[in-house]
Amino acid sequence: MVRLELNPRYLELCRTEPVSRVTMPYGGEAWLITGYHEIKEFLADPRFSSRWATEPDTARVTPLPLRPGNLLSMDPPDHGKMRKIVAHAFRPRIVSDLTDRMRELVTTELDAMEEAGPPGDLVQRLAIPLPVRMIVELFGVPYEERAEFRRYSDVFVATSAHTREEVNEARDGLEQFLRKLISIRRASPSDDLISVLIEALDAGQMTEVEAVRTGIGILMAGHETSLSMISNVSFLLLAQRDLYEQLLADRNLLDPAIEEMLRIIPLRSTGSFPRRASEDVEIGGVLIRKGETVIFQRAAGDRDERVFEDPETIRFDRERNPHLGFGHGIHYCLGAALARAELKAAIGGLLDRFPGLRLAGSVDDVPWKPGLIARAPESLPVTW
């Protein structure tokens, strides 16, 4: 795949074979789901186990499967219990407070970029500092320690960019980092996520492994995914600059524009995290046997002609947009409201400050991160 383009084979499968057999880079064969309705059915079916997908023989795109104990690798009832605990840190008041901080941070970063003069790099000036600052505040991580978890993050989400050994070392490093944070926060509890995990840990509601690995899952999803999405949305608006012009002309389009870009941007370079059937299940007329692995390509489902009119066209005035950008079912993204607020603060800030913003070079000059689960520009040079 190139930049934000989706391989047309996915769309062909969505139309003709929405549940198809594929060979994975690691672990053998799996079922790939590309149809919108079939993806929703799969995500809502408790017979597909995330916990089983932590087994080493699971077909997957990453060198190693997720470790058990992470919220993303849990099944009911453990998943529901753990999600209820950590959801406390994402309640509306917390997100509202962070939203105010986002606007302040965007202003500060764009002040610095404007003062330095063009060209500027939106990845370094906006896409990295905004979600990193928000996740460290949500967690209660000292901001000066952000580099410690950032150096593990790209390795953690590697497909081919790093070896199994390097991925394992990054996971160990992040677990050590979280254990250290838990130890430090015990002496000064607060309203942050680390304190929430400690409270549940001390009450016997989770084990230390679950606290650490669930913390890592949220830490990674909370900054790496948002970082990539801010970069991608910025790139898309400037690569197809008529889209940026539409938002300049009508700021009321910003909210629906964010939803449309969540639909159209194929954030993941490959399929989803895998799940495995805990019994024989039929989806889309295909029988999936117990133990078999299933992944899905969300971006293909969000271009399903059965659901979205003119799905390949980016339309900021789309009236109905039930996209799957944040998932569906029990694993629906806990931080969806926070992610939307970050995108709105970032893009709104650019529109306010730089109406003449454009790429500093050609679209083809933008470098992209290779070999990772999420696709995103390595840097995004802009001028104004």
Q: Burial-class residue 187 by CB neighbours within 10 Å (0-12, 13-18, 19+).
A: exposed
Cα–Cα distances in angstroms (integers) from residue 242 to residues 4, 316, 319, in the given order: 17, 12, 20
What is the DSSP-derived secondary structure letter of residue 200?
Answer: H
Do residues 158 and 168 touch, judged by C-beta distance below 8 A? no
Ordered alpha helix ranges (H), 145-278: 146-156, 164-185, 193-202, 208-220, 226-239, 241-249, 254-264
Q: Using an 8 Å Cβ cutoff, are 39 and 296 in contact? A: yes
Assess contact for 329 and 43: CB atoms under 8 A: yes
Strand 275-277 with 281-283, pairing: unpaired
Cα separation, 146 vs 167, in Å, equals: 19
DSSP tag of 144: G
- Report CA torsion sign: 271, 277, 278, 284: positive
Q: Which two tokens stand for residue 352?
A: 């306010």
Q: Which residues contact 183 (CB under 8 A, 6 or more apart)?
A: none
Instruction: Put residue 204 in one of left, alpha, beta given phi > 0 → left and psi -120 to 50 → alpha.
Output: left
Distance CA(64)–CA(303), nearest Å, equals 30
Contact 230, 343 (CB under 8 A): yes
**Residues annotated as part of the active site:** 221, 224, 226, 333, 342
Quote the DSSP letter at residue 373: S
